[in-house]
Amino acid sequence: MLELVPGEMNVENPAEPSAATVLQDVLERVGRGDRAAFSELYDQMAPRVLGLVTRLLRDPAQSEEVAQEIFLEIWQTSTRFDPNKGGAATWILTMTHRRAVDRVRASQASRDRDVRVGIRDLDVDIDHVAESVEVRIESERVEKAMARLTDMQRQAITLSYYGGYTNSEVATMLSVPIGTIKTRIRDGMIRLRDELGVAS
Amino acid sequence: MTDDKDPGNLTGSYALGAVDAAELADFEAHLAQSHQTRDEVTELMDTAVLLGLAAAPVQPSAGLKASIMGQLDAHPQLPSEATGFVASDFAGPAARKASARWFSKPVTALVAVAAAIALFVAGGVVTTTITQDNFAQQQADQLAAINAADDVQRAAVDLDGGGTATLVWSNELLRSALVVDGLATLPTDRQYQLWYIDGAGARPAGVFDVAASGSTWRVLEGTMNTGDTVGVTVEPRGGSPVPTTDPVVVITSA
């Protein structure tokens, strides 16, 4: 679970509740209609949500629009969040990614995206917030784990997750059979899981 | 090659949201049956979340928060009723947690609503592939509203091919939804079209597709008048102004 990942723990003072526990508590209060909690959740998560959406969509205005839809969905469906079924960050980020991918696939522009656009490094020049130490540690861990994948695995995972492409689209782009793509992604994700110490 | 056929090979793609629409229903059916696959997907989804958290944070514009807060009233929270309609007959807390997640994670919340209804009316499990967008959200909200209405009614018919179609409606809300199970999939240039039919003729009420599982649901467009008959015909993709084929489903709401 996400809570067990070192990057999520409060390293400075183990006696204080971890960031994950705090977030879960806030989300549960949102689920009971608490608007102050929703405001707090927004302050905590908006840069992360918008960061991921922007990574996929690139366009700042469109990304904010999607982020707005995501927070309204969080508000509406938080009544059904159950901490026994997964962490709060998992819940929010999974919803965020799904919404961003839906938008990428729905927009005609994305359909016309050039193969090179998809394959080049998907970094984008945006007004990023100053990253906290905690965020930087997380990013560096992921970066290091990604570096241990084969180029083929990394490419397939990057195109899928940050590019929003389906298996068959990735297969077409890279001119390899779809079964090969599925295997590369699975092997790569299992490697990442092990490198990052994610276990249920 | 065998990889193409083995659904277990899709765990990574599923965690990344990259499974092609055509394969999604079959994979989710496989998930429901294999806890080995489910455990793997759970871990890979948590791994994917770390990829999400690794994206550089972006500061929202100053107006975004106020805009969202201002819209809360217009977006009422969904009732928290249980969506755990799938029996967790798996041993161990980890497996139970994993199985619970499949059927009530946000991604499938809408599906769970539909499935709960389908279970209620048809007694079978429905796997519906829904594109999660505003339209789907709107549809789910409307479906929930119809089911929550004081005067909700249901009528079911058997289909020629062996499935069932169930109409759920509320005269108070002037709305209805059709839940189908066992409807044939159509060639890509065709779609099913819904109609409200009364003495004056047929009014178009939206189009829908059926996934390989043959099960789906759709809230009809437009308003329903008391006593209307609901029909479904096969039409060219996008629908027709008037029915051009004989109906495959006819249900009277009276």
Identify whether residues B13 and B25 lie together within a single domain: yes
Mean per-residue pLDDT of chain A: 81
- Between chains, do B106 and A94 touch, taking CB under 8 Å as contact? yes
CA B89 vs CA A83, B86, B93, B122: distances in Å: 20, 9, 11, 22
pTM of the model: 0.59
Number of domains in chain B: 3
Q: Does the beta carbon of A175 lie under 8 angstroms from any beta carbon of chain B? A: no
- Between chains, do B55 and A84 touch, taking CB under 8 Å as contact? no
Q: Which of residues 215-254 of B touch A (CB under 8 A)?
A: none
List the single residue in B48, B57, B94 with the smallest CB-CB distance to A200. B94
pLDDT, residue A8, reads 40
Q: Which residue of A has its CA nearest to B81?
A: A80
pLDDT, residue A152, reads 94
**pLDDT interval class at B1 (50, 70, 90):** very low
Identify whether residues B135 and B185 lie together within a single domain: no
Q: Taking CB atoms and an 8 Å cut-off, how many pairs form between chains A and B?
A: 251
CB A100 within 8 A of CB A122: no
Identify whether residues B12 and B119 lie together within a single domain: yes
Identify whether residues B143 and B175 lie together within a single domain: no
Distance from CA of B182 to the nearest CA of A (A): 27
**Above 0.85 for ipTM, yes or no?**
no
Identify whether residues B94 and B160 lie together within a single domain: no
Identify whether residues B69 and B54 lie together within a single domain: no
Residues 6+ apart with CB under 8 A from B207: B191, B192, B193, B194, B235, B237, B238, B239
- Between chains, do B59 and A75 touch, taking CB under 8 Å as contact? no
* CA–CA gap between residue B248 and residue B234 (Å, rounded): 8
CA B115 vs CA B31, B32, B112: distances in Å: 16, 14, 5
List the single residue in A50, A76, A142 with the smallest CB-CB distance to B50. A142
pLDDT for B238 beyond 60: yes
Q: Could you tell me the two tokens for A45?
A: 């998560």
List the single residue in A42, A43, A86 with the smallest CB-CB distance to B105. A86
Measuring CA to CA, which residue among B159, B174, B164 is closest to residue B126?
Answer: B164
Strand B229-236 versus strand B249-252 pairing type: antiparallel
Identify whether residues B252 and B187 lie together within a single domain: yes
Q: Give tens-digit pLDDT for B78-102.
A: 887 543 333 233 334 444 444 444 4
Identify whether residues B140 and B156 lie together within a single domain: no
What CATH number corresponds to the domain at position B201?
2.60.40
**Residue A55 burial by Cβ neighbours in a 10 Å radius (0-12, 13-18, 19+):** buried
pLDDT, residue B121, reads 39
- List of chain A residues whose C-beta atoms are within 8 Å of the C-beta of residue B47: 189, 192-193, 196, 198
**Residue A173 burial by Cβ neighbours in a 10 Å radius (0-12, 13-18, 19+):** buried
Identify whether residues B79 and B44 lie together within a single domain: no
Domain containing B78 equals 61-101
Element (H, E) at B192: strand B190-198
pLDDT for A58 beyond 90: no
Q: Classify residue B237 by its DSSP letter.
A: T
Q: Could you tell me the two tokens for A162?
A: 């940050």
pLDDT, residue A6, reads 38
Q: Does the beta carbon of A187 lie under 8 angstroms from any beta carbon of chain B? A: yes
Q: Could you tell me the two tokens for B64?
A: 């975004």
CB B136 within 8 A of CB B116: no
Q: Does the beta carbon of B39 lie under 8 angstroms from any beta carbon of chain A? A: yes
Check residues B245 and B14 and name the one with the higher pLDDT.
Answer: B14
CB B211 within 8 A of CB B195: no
Residues 6+ apart with CB under 8 A from B109: A77, A80, B78, B83, B140
Mean per-residue pLDDT of chain B: 76
* CA–CA gap between residue B134 and residue B74 (Å, rounded): 14
pLDDT for B177 beyond 80: yes
Ranking A71-75, B102-106, B139-143 by mean pLDDT, the lowest is B102-106
CA A92 vs CA A103, A163, B17, B110: distances in Å: 17, 19, 15, 16
pLDDT for B131 beyond 80: no
List the single residue in B42, B49, B77 with the smallest CB-CB distance to A200. B42
pLDDT, residue B136, reads 67
Can you tell me the mean pLDDT for A175-195?
Answer: 96
- Between chains, do A200 and B98 touch, taking CB under 8 Å as contact? yes
Q: Which residue has the tokens 């793609």?
A: B13
CA A51 vs CA A99, B9, B153, B236: distances in Å: 13, 30, 46, 41
Q: Give tens-digit pLDDT for A32-57.
A: 999 999 999 999 999 999 999 999 98
Q: Could you tell me the two tokens for B218?
A: 């759709």
Identify whether residues B94 and B119 lie together within a single domain: no
Identify whether residues B1 and B118 lie together within a single domain: yes
Dihedral over Cα of B86, B87, B90, B94: its sign: positive
Q: Which residue of B has its CA nearest to A185?
A: B12
Percent with pLDDT over 90 in chain A: 55
Identify whether residues B120 and B224 lie together within a single domain: no
CB B192 within 8 A of CB B221: no
- Between chains, do B65 and A39 touch, taking CB under 8 Å as contact? yes
pLDDT, residue B81, reads 54
**pLDDT interval class at B115 (50, 70, 90):** very low
**pLDDT interval class at A114 (50, 70, 90):** very low
Q: Give tens-digit pLDDT for A71-94.
A: 999 999 999 898 887 789 889 999
Q: Which residue has the tokens 């005269």?
A: B171
